[in-house]
């Protein structure tokens, strides 16, 4: 029995079978001919449709799985299912580059100064009372971390990350939220063992406190300025510490 999804595909040219299958599946998802949750035809049927070997089909499936476009389940009740497009792979790859310091700290600082200034300004215009409440709760957690003796580094990182993500989320812009999550879930690699001075932690808290206050008062220019100055200051501090540790 021929699967109903087979009509989405055409036979491939020799030597391009794997690439063609990947491209055709991507196009079928984009065009709406394949929908999330729908199963692809069995490998044997695809071999016939594409005039392909089993190894070519497996290679194409490997690429599609790496792209996050399909999910392969093994066993008698398994199969190959179309997945909803997501940002998971983008997050994973960019996060890995940051974690292994393949993106220079200077570039991250430039991003933060520019984009986070814009995020702060938009947040001041779009944040809801619920968003503000979440920001204040996280500020309280951060204060407890920086006033502890010694400062609670791990807890600080977690609360700080959450606060930046909430601020980005309050812009109601999915791209700002996504990039903020990626950056702040991984940027702490540059701060570990560097933010040892308790006064630096306190200054960090004071910046965030002023930022949330500006957002709550809907002061877009003030929020943008605070976010930019905050990013500049801590880049200089981290760079100084990194230079000293060379």
Taking every pair of Cα atoms in the chain, the longest distance, rounded to a whole number of angstroms, is: 71
Mean pLDDT of 119-147: 97
Binned at pLDDT 50, 70 and 90, residue 246 comes out as low
Residue 168 has pLDDT above 70, yes or no: yes
Residue 215 has pLDDT above 80, yes or no: yes
Higher-scoring residue by pLDDT: 3, 227 = 227
For 179-192, what is the mean pLDDT? Answer: 78
pLDDT digits (tens, 9 = 90+) for 47-100: 888 888 889 889 999 989 888 888 888 776 778 999 877 767 777 777 788 777
Q: 3.30.420.40, 1.10.3660.10, 1.20.1260.10, 1.10.10.10: which CATH number matches 4-82? A: 1.10.10.10
Specify whether domain 88-244 bears CATH 1.20.1250.30: no
Average pLDDT over residues 18-32: 86
More confident residue, 118 or 156: 118
pLDDT value of residue 211: 98
- Whether pLDDT at 1 is above 50: no
Which is more confident, 184 or 140? 140
Confidence of residue 120 (pLDDT cuts 50, 70, 90): very high
Q: What is the DSSP string of 139-197?
A: HHHHHHHHHSSS--HHHHHHHHHHHHHHHHHTTT-HHHHHHHHHHHHHGGGGTTTT---
Instruction: Delimit the CATH 1.10.10.10 region(s) of the chain.
Output: 4-82
**Structure confidence at residue 214 (pLDDT):** 98
159: pLDDT strictly greater than 90: yes
Quote the pTM value: 0.70
- For the chain, the average pLDDT equals 85
Portions of the chain given CATH number 1.20.120.530: 88-244
Contacts of 3 (CB under 8 A, 6+ apart): 39, 40, 41, 42, 45
Q: Is the model's pLDDT at 190 over the cut of 80? A: no
The sign of the dihedral angle between the CA atoms of 184, 187, 191, 192 is positive
User: How distant, in Å, are the alpha carbons of 37, 77, 158 from that of 82?
Assistant: 5, 16, 34
Least confident piece of the model among 11-20, 35-44, 200-209: 11-20
């Amino acid at each position: 029995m021929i699967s109903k999804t087979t009509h989405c595909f055409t036979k491939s040219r020799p030597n391009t079978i794997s690439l063609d299958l990947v491209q055709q599946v991507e196009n079928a998802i984009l065009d709406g001919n394949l929908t999330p949750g729908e199963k692809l035809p069995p490998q044997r049927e695809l071999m016939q449709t594409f005039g392909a070997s089993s190894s070519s089909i497996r290679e194409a499936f490997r690429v599609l799985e790496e792209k996050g476009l399909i999910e392969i389940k093994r066993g008698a009740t398994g199969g190959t299912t179309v997945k909803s497009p997501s940002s998971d792979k983008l997050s994973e790859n960019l996060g890995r580059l940051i974690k292994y310091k393949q993106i220079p700290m200077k570039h991250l600082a430039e991003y933060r100064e520019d984009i986070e200034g814009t995020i702060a300004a938009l947040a001041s215009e779009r944040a809801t009372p619920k968003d503000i409440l979440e920001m204040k709760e996280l500020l309280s957690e951060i204060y407890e971390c920086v006033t502890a003796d010694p400062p609670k580094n791990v807890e600080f990182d977690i609360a700080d990350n959450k606060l930046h993500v909430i601020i980005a989320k309050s812009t109601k812009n999915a791209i700002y939220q996504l990039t903020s999550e990626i950056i702040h879930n991984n940027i702490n690699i540059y701060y570990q063992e560097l933010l040892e001075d308790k006064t630096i932690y306190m200054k960090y808290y004071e910046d965030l406190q002023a930022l949330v206050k500006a957002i709550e008062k809907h002061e877009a220019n003030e929020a943008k300025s605070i976010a930019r100055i905050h990013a500049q200051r801590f880049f200089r501090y981290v760079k100084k510490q990194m230079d000293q540790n060379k």
